[in-house]
Structure 1
Amino acid sequence: MDFLNQLLRVPIEQLPFYLVTLVIAFTVHEFSHAYFANKFGDPTAKLLGRVTLNPTVHFDLIGIILLLIAGFGWARPVPVNRDNFSKPRLMGVIVSAAGPLSNLLLGVLGTLIYVILIQFGILDAISNDKLLEAIRLFFGLFTLMNFFLFLFNLLPLPPLDGYRILEDIVPRSMFGTLKKFEQYSMFIFLLILVIPGLQRYTISPLYTAAHSMYMHFAKFFLMLMGA
């Protein structure tokens, strides 16, 4: 057990909550890409069985293990052929943005549900301390991770969605510059994730921003409920 605690970045007792959160967050994220790509006329993802909420078709085992051990990982990317879109650049932006926006929606929904549980005294009615702690831990992780994934995936670095959006919105005259930058940006991306000193200025601020998003949405929903 001590070995696992040292190996994983996630406390072993919190591991089930992280895994459930990642299953939901990654599955909905990749499904959103596939759904809109198919909706806009590209059947590539559908033919590969990716327009589904079945998590087994979206998960990459190595990506999940690395996420738990190294702090970064991935799901299986959805293949998209923009040539099948009637408006490749506009629809490409929407398809790329659909993934991060789905995580934003999950974070908002998680916050709303948690606020309802608190505001209407549902949590107060739970006498089992372990169950109460588990509910609080799950919603805390679920909202924070989804808001973080929303922000993280919008970074304009390959292979993130933010870079794909950038590719579709910059003038065609800049494509060559982007391609030259791409080989270096991947290296920069890995450095940001791997070097602890850099994470203080890159990844940590994203977690801070994700927590701030949760607090703002929670206050907003409380205000709507008259609290």
Structure 2
Amino acid sequence: MGGLSVIQTVAVYIIPLIFAITLHEAAHAYVAHKHGDNTAKLYGRLSVNPMHHIDPIGTVVFPLISIVLGSMAGGAGFIFGWAKPIPINFSKLHNPKKDLRWIALAGPAANLAMALIWALILKLSMYVGGYFGIPLNLMSQAGISINISLFILNLLPVLPLDGGRIVFSLLPDKQAISYAKTEQYGMWILIILILFGGLNFIMSPLYNFLVTTILSLLN
């Protein structure tokens, strides 16, 4: 998306970004509810309305800063953010440890599904003329990029990411308890990976493969 101004880049990315982040959390809420926990519903979070999930810092400020900095550097790069976490009462789940696995998987699965939906919109944008075709095309590309990035990021086996929750759910109880103690270091691990390029090194090959695969489905 070279050639876009900072404002144009923000305009292209903001809608796909908000949906990618908030519907990720909504997916957690729906699966938790299906497995017996109605806590999210009681807090008004059992909804696909993005307004119910937006975190001012994680959904707006942090992503906007990353978009602006990426645009100034000549490209959007990997754009990350977060929504308000879904409240979960594990005592209400039918099988807490097993159900946690499906709840955790729901978020990345939602991002993968949204990437495929944006791919379909990208295909349709090729038949839309006038003033709508190009913006829709660019927004669709952004939607694919953001959702694939979030899909991969959240499956990293680091707590508190979804991948970490999945690993926790698969470990025997004793090892799971020990693994859970690493959550306090999770954000520091991610920050170090970002600062020293480790995250880009880990994510780029799979990101390129998935984006190429999805785009090939359009042909």
Distance 1:72 1:105, change over 3 A: closer
- Deviation readout 1:79-118 (Å, 9 max, x if unpaired): 1122211121221111111011000001012113323444
Check the 8 A contact 1:144/1:207 in 2, yes or no.
Answer: no
The residue that corresponds to 1:105 in the other structure is 113
Q: Distance in 2 between matches of 1:44 and 1:220?
A: 39
- Deviation readout 1:22-49 (Å, 9 max, x if unpaired): 1211221111111111111101100000
Deviation at 1:178, TM superposition (A): 0.9
The residue that corresponds to 1:24 in the other structure is 19
Check the 8 A contact 1:115/1:218 in 2, yes or no.
Answer: no
Distance 1:25 1:163, change over 3 A: same
TM-score normalised by length of structure 1: 0.81
Distance 1:163 1:187, change over 3 A: same
Q: Distance in 2 between matches of 1:145 and 1:210?
A: 10
The residue that corresponds to 2:209 in the other structure is 212
Secondary structure of 2:182's partner? helix
Check the 8 A contact 2:168/2:180 in 1, yes or no.
Answer: no
Q: Distance in 2 between matches of 1:146 and 1:73?
A: 11
Does structure 1 residue 131 correspond to structure 2 residue 132? Answer: yes
Check the 8 A contact 2:16/2:143 in 1, yes or no.
Answer: yes
Q: Distance in 1 between matches of 2:151 and 2:141?
A: 16
Does structure 1 residue 61 correspond to structure 2 residue 56? Answer: yes
Deviation at 1:75, TM superposition (A): 0.7
1:48 maps to which of 40, 43, 51: 43
Check the 8 A contact 1:27/1:59 in 2, yes or no.
Answer: yes
The residue that corresponds to 2:85 in the other structure is 77
Distance 1:28 1:180, change over 3 A: closer
Check the 8 A contact 1:115/1:221 in 2, yes or no.
Answer: yes
The residue that corresponds to 1:86 in the other structure is 94
How many corresponding residue pairs?
202
- Deviation readout 1:197-222 (Å, 9 max, x if unpaired): x23x3135525533431221222342
Check the 8 A contact 2:169/2:176 in 1, yes or no.
Answer: no
* TM-align CA RMSD: 2.0
Check the 8 A contact 1:144/1:211 in 2, yes or no.
Answer: no
Secondary structure of 1:202's partner? helix
Greater than 4 Å deviation, 4+ residue runs: none
Q: Distance in 1 between matches of 2:22 and 2:184?
A: 28
Deviation at 1:67, TM superposition (A): 2.1
Q: Distance in 2 between matches of 1:23 and 1:180?
A: 31
- Deviation readout 1:176-195 (Å, 9 max, x if unpaired): 421343333332122223x1
Ranges in structure 2 where 5+ consecutive residues have no aligned partner: 67-78
- Deviation readout 1:103-159 (Å, 9 max, x if unpaired): 0001012113323444xxx14xx1x3x533212211110111111111111111122
TM-score normalised by length of structure 2: 0.83
More displaced stretch, 181-190 vs 47-56: 181-190
Report sequence identity in percent.
32
1:12 maps to which of 7, 15, 32: 7
Q: Distance in 2 between matches of 1:220 and 1:14?
A: 26
